[in-house]
């Protein structure tokens, strides 16, 4: 994928979350079943890095569960972080920070081994594939000093399986609407429209298990579990549990 196309795709999603942050946050007032299933595994004293934390609903759920560790949520959308920051938590160690995962310095100020576990729920699929190695290798470095290969998990992630839904397949749009063509992007890259509070567009990459497994291996992780959850048919997201290889 050409660097100019990568920048274009990033700009599409930046514009979307700038324009529709409030409308998007309103649709994310409860966590998906798959996320809740994985939260059961997190120790209450864990040091958690949440990549793409959005409107803070996950941190709010952790607080409900008696979380006593450290939580740092990163997101590039200042509007979504504003929504998150307005939530009053009874836990003193919940923090949010503006950080763009597409930037080479998104991990600035975070030392190696700062976290026990990283979360990446519904975030990687909004980033172009050429960025994945940088993001995941940096994430691994933040976990290295405190995680062992024998640990049950280091990274919990989910990726949207929108092609499993006729409703979402009907929302696919031609790339020409944003000044691109199908030849500019990969075969698993899609453009979806948004209709709440106005019309917008989001770039989404559609992962399959083979791609995710290879990505894990290439960036120093191994996949220890895969399952599907969410949506009417229970297959609207692919969840994986990774640990350090």
Question: CB of 219 within 8 A of CB of 195?
Answer: no
Residue 190 pLDDT exceeds 50:
yes
Structure tokens at 64: 């409900």
- Rounded Cα distance between 8 and 128, Å, is 10
- Distance between terminal CA atoms of the chain? 28
Confidence of residue 147 (pLDDT cuts 50, 70, 90): very low
Q: What is the pTM (predicted TM-score) of this model? A: 0.90
What does the alpha-carbon distance between residue 58 and residue 73 come to, in Å, rounded to a whole number? 9
What pLDDT score does 81 carry?
80
Res 165: pLDDT: 93
Contact 121, 151 (CB under 8 A): no
For residue 183, which of 1, 7, 11 has the smallest C-alpha distance? 1
- Strands 172-173 and 189-194 come out as antiparallel
Q: Is 240 helix (H, G, I), strand (E, B) or coil?
A: strand
144 pLDDT higher than 90: no
- Output the six-digit token pair for 160: 């949207």
Q: Region 16-40: what's the mean pLDDT? A: 78
Domains, the chain, ranges and CATH?
Answer: 3-244 (3.40.50.150)
Lowest average pLDDT, out of 82-96, 100-114, 179-193, 218-232, goes to: 82-96
Give ∠ CA 58-80-113 in degrees, rounded to 5: 55
Dihedral (Cα; 62, 142, 116, 101), 10-degree rounding: 20
Euclidean distance between CA atoms 51 and 81, whole angstroms: 12
Question: What helix, strand, coil percent values describe the chain, rounded to 5?
Answer: 35, 25, 40
Which of 82-96, 109-123, 191-205 shows the lowest per-residue confidence on average (mean pLDDT)? 82-96
Kindly report, residue by residue over 104-139, the tens digit of the pLDDT: 999 999 988 889 999 999 999 999 999 999 999 999
């Amino acid at each position: 994928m050409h660097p100019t196309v990568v920048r274009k795709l990033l700009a599409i999603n930046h514009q979307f979350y700038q324009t529709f942050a409030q409308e998007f946050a309103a649709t994310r007032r409860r966590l998906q079943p798959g996320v809740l299933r994985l939260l059961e595994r997190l120790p209450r004293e864990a040091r958690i890095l949440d990549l793409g934390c959005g409107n803070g609903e996950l941190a709010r759920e952790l607080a409900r569960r008696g979380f006593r560790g450290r939580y740092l949520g990163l997101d590039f959308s200042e509007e979504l972080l504003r929504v998150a920051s307005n939530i009053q938590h009874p836990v003193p160690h919940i923090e949010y920070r503006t950080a763009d995962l597409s930037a080479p310095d998104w991990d600035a100020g975070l030392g190696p081994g700062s976290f026990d576990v990283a979360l990446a729920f519904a975030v990687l699929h909004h980033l172009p594939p050429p960025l994945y190695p940088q993001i995941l290798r940096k994430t691994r470095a933040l976990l290295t000093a405190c995680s062992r290969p024998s640990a049950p998990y280091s990274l919990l992630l989910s990726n949207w399986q929108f092609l499993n839904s006729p409703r979402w397949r009907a929302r696919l749009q031609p790339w020409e609407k944003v000044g691109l063509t199908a030849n500019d992007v990969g075969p698993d890259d899609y453009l979806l429209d948004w209709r709440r509070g106005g019309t917008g567009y989001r770039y989404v990459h559609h992962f399959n298990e083979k791609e995710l497994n290879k990505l894990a291996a290439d960036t120093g992780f191994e996949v220890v579990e895969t399952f599907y959850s969410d949506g009417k048919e229970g297959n609207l997201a692919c969840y994986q549990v990774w640990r350090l290889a």
